[in-house]
Amino acid sequence: MDLEILTARAQEWLAQLWVWLQNPNFLAQLAAIAAAIVLAPILARILRKQVPVLRSAPAEDASLLKVRQIIFRSGQFLRAVVLVALLALAATALRGMSPFGEDWLVKIAQSLATVFVVYRAIKVFLDDPLYRKIATFTLVPLALIFVLGYWENFTGFLGNTTLIPMGSNPITVLTIAKLAVFGTLFFWLGSLGNKRGQTAIRAQKSLDIGVREILAKLFQIILFVVIAFLVINTAGIPTSGLVVVFSALSLGIGLGLQPIAANFVSGLIILLDRSVKVGDFVMLEGGVFGRIKSINMRSTTVSTADGKDIIVPNTDFTENSYENWTHDSPLQRYEVDFGVSYDTDLDALVPLIRDAVLAHEDVLDEPDLPSVEFRSFGDSSINMCVEFWCEGVDDGPNKFSSDVGFIIWRTLKANNIEIPFPQRVVHEAPKVRVAEAPKVKRKTVKS
């Protein structure tokens, strides 16, 4: 394209612009757009001052907290929303005024403002950089296609592009697009409903904790199965397509998803036979121990006393051995070792230590009283042990063994009972005198 052609095109555009500038309809639309741009920030500022939910962030205990948070965060692009509304009103007003009757320029401005609203909403509501990029490169072009009036042509093209021919209802690019969009939307709503539903079920204190967990998991399974069927029906996938999907899924489970399926089934077994419940204190192979925090579809979370969460596959509870300290009863027996000197009156020591330990508020007198037992004759002391019962696990907030150790130490000190320390007797070998060699006199020879 040479310079003459570019000059001719520019002259045509300038001539068309001059015609528009002489047209009252065009000037009226320009004035409407300028007025909307000027009024939008003013009205947005007034709305922020007048509407409390836009003025300040909602409190954590406010009703409808999620809705309030969404409305408050929407205030960050309130100006763009007001601009779209003003342009829509301007287009309606221009169409109704007989001297003008045209609104094409206002419509273009409104479309661009709408796309900008979508862009700002993505920036505000999506914090993850990856999701933000995906949404920006998909939703913004789709919004632009929609506002420019090419949506039907676009969807028609996608609907005519067949991926899997299946008789009268083939799977097209549009089907996959619907599956992705509605799947994301429905499963997001399902995750919110799942959290609310499980919270409500677990809040039923009249039910046993195991029953609550079973009902919560059944609710989760049924909810997501229903959502999956809704997504498939909304996307327009025929029933014959479901056979193909389930066949592929079965093949995938047979080839590579066996561990996932095994953990899923193991989770159901754990919930149904109630061998492990939320709140139980378990010790697994390898020294992992802690309380069961949650039982999920694939794994179980064990919370340790030092604040760490250990994710354990559900198959570890169905295929391996483990200790459940609180399976049937929260009562546990503990012991604390100590030593006394050989001069101690053991007959008087036993009731002394037993009564002192029993005075602790967490030490129980059932199923057995604290028992002071003789263990062995040590090198430096008589090794003793006190056994006692408590309700709970000696970990985290409970320090039964530590408390009893302090009680024993104070009791022995108060009664002048010696706590011996290791002693060793060292015998020194007698010194052996070594005869000194006779001194040799040296003669000095003068030369």
Cis check for the bond before 367: say yes or no (omega within 30 of 0): yes
DSSP string, 102-117: --HHHHHHHHHHHHHH
406 band by pLDDT with thresholds 50, 70 and 90: very high
Rounded Cα gap, residues 346 and 351, in angstroms: 9
Q: What is the rounded average pLDDT of the residues 242-264?
A: 66
Sign of CA dihedral 346, 350, 353, 355: negative
Tens digit of each residue's pLDDT (9 = 90 or more) over 147-204? 777 778 888 888 787 777 766 677 788 878 888 888 888 887 888 788 888 888 878 7
Domain ranges, ordered by start, for the chain: 3-149, 171-256, 275-324, 331-414
DSSP-derived 3-state class of residue 96: helix
3-state secondary structure labels for all residues of 327-384 = CCCCEEEEEEEEEECCCCCHHHHHHHHHHHHHCCCCEECCCCCCEEEEEEECCCCEEE
What is residue 284's predicted lDDT score, i.e. its pLDDT?
Answer: 81
Check residues 442 and 340 and name the one with the higher pLDDT: 340
What is residue 291's predicted lDDT score, i.e. its pLDDT?
Answer: 82
Sign of CA dihedral 220, 225, 228, 233: negative
What is residue 97's predicted lDDT score, i.e. its pLDDT?
Answer: 66
Q: What is the rounded average pLDDT of the residues 21-30?
A: 71
List, in sequence order, every residue forming a beta bridge with 377; answer none if it has no partner: 382
DSSP conformation class of 395: S
Question: Within 148-257, where are the H helices?
Answer: 151-159, 173-202, 209-235, 239-255
CATH number of 275-324: 2.30.30.60
Tens digit of each residue's pLDDT (9 = 90 or more) over 368-379? 888 888 988 988
Architecture in CATH for domain 331-414 = 2-Layer Sandwich (3.30)
CB atoms within 10 A of CB 238: 17
The rounded mean pLDDT for the chain is 78
Tens digit of each residue's pLDDT (9 = 90 or more) over 65-100? 777 888 888 888 888 888 888 888 888 877 766 565
DSSP-derived 3-state class of residue 299: strand
